[in-house]
Chain A
Amino acid sequence: MERHHIFRARGLTKMYDMGEVRVEALRNVDFDLYEGELLVLLGASGSGKSTLLNILGGLDAPTEGTVWYRDRELDTTDEDALTDYRRHHVGFVFQFYNLIPSLTARENVALVTEISDDPMRPDEALDLVGLANRLDHFPAQLSGGEQQRVAIARAVAKRPQVLLCDEPTGALDLETGRIVLRALERVNTELKTAIAVITHNAAIAGMGDRIVRMSSGQIASDEPNPDRVPIDNISW
């Protein structure tokens, strides 16, 4: 079966000017993400994985190289095009949940559905992450794991092709971390949304269809993982 690309990146290089020093965050990286797959991007802090994710998500521009989203080359210089791209095609989940404190769980999701073309209903998205009973709670009334699941619901409510998660369990303990991972897995299997999860936590890698390891701004290895580890068996 032919696999369709979600992302195709070739020759990505990213340099940061840190005063007198030039830091090379990415060095000539080639990267692919396919439809429906759950990919884990593993690497130590500073390995360049977040930089790669930010470029894929249209939050940052590469110094050199090209990124295609499906058949479309991401023009990282066009602010409006990037906004439109983020609005309709890609969802984000961060380590710090970045919910809007003044809005309830339902409203945080509605914020996105109000500006999307064919969204889910907010309560449907929250049901998907197991929060059907917390719809009208404000972030201050939710635990960390619950807040992260609201963030996931918010990210998937617009039915994006791909979900980019940067250390989604980084601020959570094992038990709540597992609940969040289960929510991600469910999104992947039920909605067929491609997911890229960034983590420095090797234990999480087992849940992916494919594991990409990064180090010093380069891809160190890229291996399929035919036997996904059930979330219940993951521990750290």
Chain B
Amino acid sequence: MRSLRHKLVRDTWHNRGQVLSIAAVVATAIMTVLSMRGTYESLQHARDSFYQESSFPHVWARLERAPESIRSRIEAIDGVRAVDTRVRFMANLRLPDRIGSVTGLFSSVDPEVHALGQLVLRSGRVPGTRERDRVVINEKFSEANGLEEGDTFDGIINGQMRHLMVVGVAISPEYMYPLAPGSIFPDHETFGLIWMGREVLAAESDMEGAFNEVALQLRGGAREAAVIDALDRILKPYGGQGGYGRSEQISHQFLEGELAQNRNTGTLIPAVFLAVVAFLLNMVLRRLVDTQRQEIAVLKAFGYTNATVGWFYLRFALLAVFMGTVVGVVVGTWLGHVMVDLYKEYFVFPDLSYRFGVDLVAIAVVISILSAAVGALGGVRAATSLPPAEAMRPKAPARFQPGIFERMGFERWLSSTARMVLRNIERQPVKSFLSAMGVAFSVAILVLGMFMFDAIEYMMDLQFNQVQREDISLVFERPLPESVQTEIEHHPSVTEAEIFRSVPVRLIHGHLEKEAVITGRRLGDDLQRIVDEDGREIRLPSEGMVLSRFLADELGLDGPGMVWAEVLEGSRPVRTVAVVDIVDDFLGASAYMELGALHRLAGGTRSVNGANVKVFPGTRDAVMDEMATLPSIAGVSSPRKMYEIFREQMDEGFLLGVFFLVFFSSIIALAVIYNGARIALSERGRELASLRVLGFSRQEVAVLLFSEQGLITFVAIPIGWLLGYWMSWAMVNAFVTESYRIPFLVDAGTFVFSAAATILAAVLSSLVVRRRLNRYDLISVLKTRD
């Protein structure tokens, strides 16, 4: 057996390019399994255990004010296991050196009570329920503002400036994605979660013995919708704004969206790589065995069994799998850590750490080895099915027939060399098809990845350059008369101001209902506009309402119609409203009305809650600072600034993302095309040498050899575009949440780029094979038998 081992070493060395290229695909497959799927499983595990340990609620509801005494009625709802009541409200904070306003979401906490969605302390302690002005803040806010235990800052609670001291830093399962209400991505500098003792917080907000938010945990088997119905009935007299489940809880929603994306890509991408590995190992081993059929015949003649010979060739594959696994595990684990760390930037977990999935590696390795074994044994069986004496004779010429193009009558148009290429492809339809699919997937992965960037870019551009064009957005502390517009316009830095009113409602259409906020604006306002997915402006009607597509879908509306609107504030009137238009947009579940029409719907005084402002260039930060100190203003934010931060992050992430995408997808294209060309060279070396002897130049012979791979690539690119387009579409559909929807548009540049990157990979592999072709010894090839 030692001599066989020497042979293994020599054959491996001779075929080192193929071994390495397969090892690279195995490595990449394992890398994607460990990083993508591994990250998904790590996140999933960390979230589930956090939810478990913190008794994460199933249902929430906000209301105006209800006495603690109704708690027992809520506990009595069928299916409710536990009830947690809170006092929770937004308030402005004053932090040194912060431009614009900083808002805090104040929540009650009681160390004596086991709460649902329990805090996890990172440091310090939870203040006692009667301990004044002592607070716990969330970790991201603490890090972003450099606030630690013992530090102090001011908060304006119920009109009173309070001097607050940090006694603890914590995280909350309800804010794993700490997003300020109305934002689309977190800004930890300007939004913080603040927890204070229940009794002091209640005392300061007129909530003694009362609550304004309730969270429920359900028993297994309880029907969430039924519980929410019952809860809504109980809370209605207390200004209930409608219960909602986890699927509408913002933090859960974002995390779930992220997990869904990870689950999809973490399954799809490794599956593609493993399929390519299986295909390549099968193809290469079969060819290797085929070229050595005479040696196999000799070994058989000496008395070696099929199994011994098969095992010998299989070890060749095992080497590639082993090398790929080692590299894949090392790099994949590292990548997994990097990705998990990246998630820690956005999501907050008590103990998120990368979990190495031995089972995942095992699956990848087993698939690789099985496909290698099938290829090796298939080849060995073919070689050993002949009696040794026959196998030692040269192989009869391969059988060919006129190709489909010729049978269709295109014969006259094809040169002899073109016929060779077409007939070779047709003779091995399965191999040609699988090669094309491999290359197509490489293109598709690029399209999918680039699409994500295109989509986010487009969405952000639309949002910040078309929809929200104001420099500063103001939210008032309490409703103000419409005349406030003139006052704002008089500010020396302000060039334009537009007031708006937001009214929380429950929209009802047939048996479907949905909570939403209607924004009322004046006709002709243009700092904020209603813009659809194609960038077309939708005119605000003077009567009736415009709904975003998401909201319309929830209500089962596919065109204009009438809905009931139950206003969730003031005298809570219930009226019918005409939906006159539906806008296909991306962000949020929005509803728009003309300001006067909204006043008529909601009743009460003709008051507004906020304004959008445009200022002279360069004065933005100063104006924001100034506005933030006004007691009548609860929030000052700048969409423009948000966009600038977003752009910066995007540009960094973009390059890195594109690099990985191109790297991963190119490995597939490289390996498929390189191995295809290598095998073509080994199968047809003799043919090519004949052509050289007949007077074909090196260039012409190379063109002939690579035309086949070229044609496969050429056919694969549009297939890859379609696949990528379809995968992107599937991704868009998997991604519809209440907060946003991904626009489905694939940029022409994405198609060009994905094709160019794949063609480049094909050319590179061809150049490597061409070096080998140029070294071919014409004479010795022709003098040997096949």
Contact = CB atoms under 8 A, between A and B. Distances in A.
Q: Do A and B bind each other?
A: yes
B782 A107 contact: no
A84 B415 contact: no
Contacts of A94: 782-783
Interface string A195-214: 00000000000000000000
A102 B424 contact: yes
B397 interface: yes
Interface stretch (A68-76, A111-119, A184-192, A221-229): A111-119
Contacts of B686: 98
- Most A CB within 10 A of own CB, among B397, B401, B687: B397
B397 A140 contact: yes
A23 to B, nearest CB: 14
B461 to A, nearest CB: 53
A86 interface: yes
B698 A103 contact: no
Contacts of B784: 96
A87 B401 contact: no
Contacts of B400: 101-103, 138, 140
Contact of A138 (B399, B687, B691): B399
B780 to A, nearest CB: 10
B415 A114 contact: yes
Contact of A101 (B397, B402, B695): B397
Interface string B759-786: 0000000000000000000110011110
- Most A CB within 10 A of own CB, among B416, B417, B784: B416
Interface string A117-138: 0000000000000000000001
B441 to A, nearest CB: 28
Interface residues of B, number: 35
Given A101-B400, A103-B420, A114-B415, A83 B782 contact: no
A92 interface: yes
B687 to A, nearest CB: 5
Interface in B393-438: 394, 396-402, 415-417, 419-420, 423-424, 427
B697 A111 contact: no
A217 interface: no
B694 interface: yes
Contacts of B660: none
B394 A96 contact: yes
A112 B694 contact: yes
A98 B782 CA distance: 7
Given A59-B779, A98-B690, A107-B416, A139 B698 contact: no
B416 A86 contact: no
A154 B397 contact: no
A162 interface: no
B693 interface: yes
A93 to B, nearest CB: 10
B693 A92 contact: yes
B701 to A, nearest CB: 10
Nearest to B689: A98
Contact of A114 (B399, B416, B424, B689): B416
Nearest to A94: B782
A100 interface: yes
A115 B402 CA distance: 22
Nearest to A89: B695
A115 B696 contact: yes
Contacts of B693: 57, 59, 86, 92, 98
A60 interface: yes
Contact of B687 (A88, A96, A101): A101
Contacts of B423: 102-103
Given A138-B400, A140-B397, A103 B694 contact: no
B416 A110 contact: yes
- Most B CB within 10 A of own CB, among A96, A101, A158: A101
- Most B CB within 10 A of own CB, among A79, A83, A110, A138: A83
Nearest to B426: A102
A138 B399 CA distance: 8
B401 A111 contact: no
Contacts of A107: 416, 419
Nearest to B786: A96
Contacts of B415: 114
A60 B781 CA distance: 13
Given A98-B686, A111-B694, A103 B782 contact: no
B785 A115 contact: no
Contacts of B694: 86-87, 92, 111-112, 154
Contact of B397 (A60, A88, A139, A158): A139
A59 B778 contact: yes
Given A100-B420, A100-B690, A102-B423, A112 B397 contact: no
Contacts of A100: 420, 687, 690-691
A54 interface: yes
Interface string A135-173: 000111000000100000010001000000000000000
Contacts of B419: 102-103, 107
A80 interface: yes
Nearest to A141: B399
A139 B419 CA distance: 15
A100 B417 CA distance: 10
Contacts of A140: 396-400
A99 interface: yes
A57 B783 CA distance: 15
Given A83-B697, A87-B694, A103 B398 contact: no
Contacts of B779: 54, 59-60
A104 B778 CA distance: 23
Contacts of B394: 96
Contacts of A88: 695
Interface in A43-101: 50, 54, 57, 59-60, 79-80, 83-84, 86-88, 92, 94-96, 98-101
B697 A80 contact: yes
Nearest to B394: A96
A102 B697 contact: no
Contacts of B396: 140
Contacts of B695: 83-84, 86-88, 112, 115-116, 158
Interface string B73-98: 00000000000000000000000000
A199 B534 CA distance: 79
B707 to A, nearest CB: 13
Nearest to A101: B397
Contacts of A110: 416
Nearest to B778: A59
Nearest to B399: A140
Contacts of B778: 59
A100 B397 CA distance: 9
Contact of B698 (A79, A84, A111): A79
Contacts of A83: 692, 695-698
Given A54-B779, A140-B396, A140-B397, A111 B691 contact: yes
Given A87-B694, A107-B416, A138 B785 contact: no
A144 B420 CA distance: 21
Contacts of B782: 94, 96, 98
Interface in B274-314: none
Identify the 9 closest CB pairs spanning chains A and B, nearest first.
Answer: A87-B695, A98-B690, A86-B695, A101-B397, A139-B397, A102-B423, A111-B416, A140-B397, A102-B400
Given A98-B693, A102-B419, 17 more contacts: A79-B698, A84-B695, A86-B692, A86-B693, A87-B695, A87-B696, A92-B693, A92-B694, A95-B783, A96-B784, A100-B691, A102-B398, A107-B419, A108-B416, A138-B401, A140-B398, A140-B400
Interface of A: 50, 54, 57, 59-60, 79-80, 83-84, 86-88, 92, 94-96, 98-104, 107-108, 110-112, 114-116, 138-140, 147, 154, 158
21 contacts: A50-B783, A59-B779, A83-B696, A84-B695, A88-B695, A92-B693, A96-B782, A96-B783, A100-B691, A103-B420, A104-B402, A107-B419, A108-B416, A111-B417, A111-B694, A112-B695, A116-B695, A138-B399, A138-B400, A140-B397, A147-B397
